[in-house]
Structure 1
C-alpha cells in the first residue's frame, strides 16, 4: 500500500463527506420548522442521528475488519447521499425522521472505517500523522460546508440538501474508482465472531472514557456558545459564523500539519496530555470573552487543544488494541457519539443555571479526563514504555 498516495485520496474523500454533512447544518432547523417541527421535535431530529451512530458505529467497524474498508465506506457515503435526498423531498415531519435515522445508521460507517484505513496503511511511527490528516479533513469540511449551505439556502431551503446529496454521490464515485482497498485478506476468521465489546479491554478501556469526556465537554460548548457570545459580547450570527470558521481553520491546520510531527517526536501520550491542558485553559479563557477578537482568539485556543486529542487517541488505540482496527475505532466512535448525545442537553441545562457554567464544567471535565489518562499511562508504563 502506497501511503503517500492513499492519504491524500482519503483526505479528499473525508473532506467531501464532511462538506456534504456541513452543508445542511445551518439549514436543518429552519427546514424542519417550515415542515412543522417544534423545538422539542427539532432536538429529537438531532438526537436520533447521534443515537443511530452510537448504536451502529461498532458494527460497521467490525464489518470493515471482515469484508474490507472500501465496501463499508461506500455503504456509509451512499447512505449519506440517500439520506440527504429524502430530506430534500420531505413534505412531512415523519419523512425527515426516516431520513435522519437512515442517515445516522449508515453514515456511522464512515469515521471508524476511515480511521481503520489509516491504521492499515501507516506504520506505528506515522500513525498520528495519518489520523491528524483525517481530522483536518473533517475540520475543513465543517468550515466550508455550512458556508455553502448558507449560500444555497437563499435559492430555497431544500436546495442545500440536493447539493449535499449530489456531493455525496460524487464522493461515492471517487471512492469506487480511485480508493484502493487497504485491508489485507486473512484466513483466520475467529475474531469476526467475537463480541463488539472485545475491543473494550483493560489495556485500552480508559481511552474510550477519555474520548467520551472530551466529546461531552466539546458538544456542551457547541450547543451554548452562540447564546453566551450574544449575551456577553453582543455578537450576531454572522460574526459567530466567522468565529467558528476561524476556530475550524486553526484546529484543522494543527491536525493536518503538526499532530504527525508532535506524535512522532514526543509520542501520542504527551500530545493527548498537552491537548487536554490547552483545552482546559481555552474553556477558562472563554469566560473572559467580551468582543469579536477575544471570542475568535479564545475559541481558537480551545479548538487547537481539542483538535489534537481525537487523532492522537485514535492512533494510540490502534497501537495498543489487540482486536481489529475497525472494531476498536468503531467502539471509539460510539463513545464519541454518546458524548454528543449527552453534551448538548447538559450544556443547555447548565447554561440555564448560570451562563458561564458550561465552560467551568467543561474545564473540570477536561481536567478529570486528564487525571484519568495519567492514571492509565502510569499503569501502561509499568509493563512497557510504549507511547
Structure 2
C-alpha cells in the first residue's frame, strides 16, 4: 500500500521524537525534584502519578480516536507533552511539578494507543506486525538517545533538558500537522461507531487473556528496570556510565529486531509464534542475568532479554487489532492502560523482591514469563473453541 509506505516513516519520526523528549528528562527529573524539595517518597509518587494517568485515560483517548480520527488526538497528545515539559521547566515548587506530571500523563496518554491504531488503519493484516514493529523501534531508539541528550544539557542547568524536550515536542506537533494525513475517513468513523461492540464486551472472552499476558510481561520488565542498576553494581561493580552503555546496546539491538525482523517473522509465521518465541527468549535472558559478573556478560545477557521482550508488544498489538471488534483505538488504548498498570506495580514489587534476595526479581521474571507462555497457550485453545471472539 502506497499510503503505508508514506505514513510509516512519518509515524516512526513522530514516535522517535516523542520518546526522545520523554527520555531527555529521565536522568534529570530526580535531581530537579530534589532541588525543589522532594523527598524520596515524593519522588516515587511523582514518577507513579504519570503512569497512573496513563492507566486511567489511555483507553478514553483510544476510544475518542475511533470517533473523531487519529490525527487530532495525536496532536492533542503531543501538545500536552510539550506543555508539561515547559511547566516542569518553570516549576519552582513541588505542587507545580506534580501538576505538570498530571497534565502530561493525562494528555500524552493519547499518543501511543492512537499511533498504534493509525498503524492498524493503514496496514493489511499481513503487514500489521511490521507496522507495529516500526513503532516499537522508534520508541526504543528514542529511549536510547533521549537520556544521553538530557545528560549533556543538564550540565548547562537542570531546567534546560525540560525546555529542550518541550521544543522537541513542539517540532513533532508541527510534523504531524503538516505531513501526517488522517487515516480514518469520516465514513469509516461512522461505520466503526455503529458496528463495534462496547469496549468491555469486545475485550472479554479470549482477548482478555492477551491483556493479562501483556500485564505479566510489563510487570517483569519494569521490575528489572527498577533493580538492574543496583544488581549490576553489586554483582559486577558497574557504575552509571557503563550501565548507560549497556542499556544503549540493549536498546539498539531491540530497535533493530523490532524494526527489521518482527514484520518478516509475523508475516511468515504469525503473531502467535513470535509472541511465544519472545517470551521464551525473555525467560532465558532473565536466567542468564543471574550469572552476570562483568560489563561484557551484563551487556550480552541484558541484550538477549531485551530482544525477546521487545518483539512481544508489537506482536500482541498486531494480534489485538486483527481480532478485536471494539475499534483499533479502543483495543490499543486498553493495551496501553494494561502496560501502565504493570509499570505502576512492577517497580515497588521488584524493589521488595530485591530487598529479600538480589536475584529474586529475575527469578520472578522467569516465573512471570512462563505464566505468560501458559496464558498464550490457553488463549490459543479458547480461540479455537470460539473463533468469533479471537
TM class by shorter chain equals over 0.9
**C-alpha contact 1:59 1:196 (8 A) present in aligned 2:** no
Q: Secondary structure at the match of 2:228?
A: helix
Return the offset for 1:197: 2.2
1:239 alignment counterpart = 242
Q: What do residues 279-316 of structure 1 show as CA deviations (whole Å, max 9, x unaligned)? A: 00000000000000000000000000000000000000
Q: Distance in 2 between matches of 1:307 and 1:101?
A: 28
1:307 is aligned to 310
Whether 1:4 aligns to 2:5 is: yes
Secondary structure, in 3 states, of the residue corresponding to 1:106?
A: helix
User: Following TM superposition, by how much is the alpha carbon of 1:189 offset from its aligned partner in structure 2, in angstroms?
Assistant: 6.7
| RMSD of aligned residue pairs (Cα, Å) | 1.6
CA contact (8 A) 1:203 1:321 kept: no
- Does structure 1 conserve the Cα–Cα contact (< 8 Å) formed by 2:66 and 2:192? no
Contact 2:242/2:295 (8 A) holds in 1: yes
Equivalent-residue separation in structure 1 for 2:68 and 2:200 (angstroms): 19
Q: What corresponds to 1:143 in structure 2?
A: 144
Q: Which of 283, 293, 296 is residue 293 of structure 1 equivalent to? A: 296
Report the equivalent of 2:170: 169
CA 1:200/1:382 → structure 2, altered by over 3 Å: closer, same or farther? closer
Q: Could you tell me which residue of structure 1 aligns to residue 373 of structure 2?
A: 370
Distance 1:248 1:291 in 2: 19
192 and 160 in structure 1: CA distance in 2 versus 1, 3 angstrom threshold: farther
Pair 321,197 (structure 1): closer, same or farther in 2 beyond 3 Å: same
1:383 deviation in Å? 4.9
1:321 aligns with 2:324: yes
Q: How does 1:1-387 map to 2 (within 5 A)?
A: 2-186=3-187, 187-188=190-191, 190-191=193-194, 195-383=198-386
What is the distance in 2 between the residues matched to 1:322 and 1:386?
Answer: 8
Structure 1 residues not aligned, in runs of 5+ = none
Aligned residue pairs total: 387
Give the Cα separation in 1 of the matches to 2:200 and 2:322: 17
Query: TM-score normalised to the size of structure 1?
Result: 0.98
Contact 2:87 2:97 in 1 (8 A): yes
Change (3 A) 1:60 1:385: closer
Paired residues of 1:203 and 1:320 also in contact (CA < 8 A): no
Question: SS at 2:243's partner residue?
Answer: helix
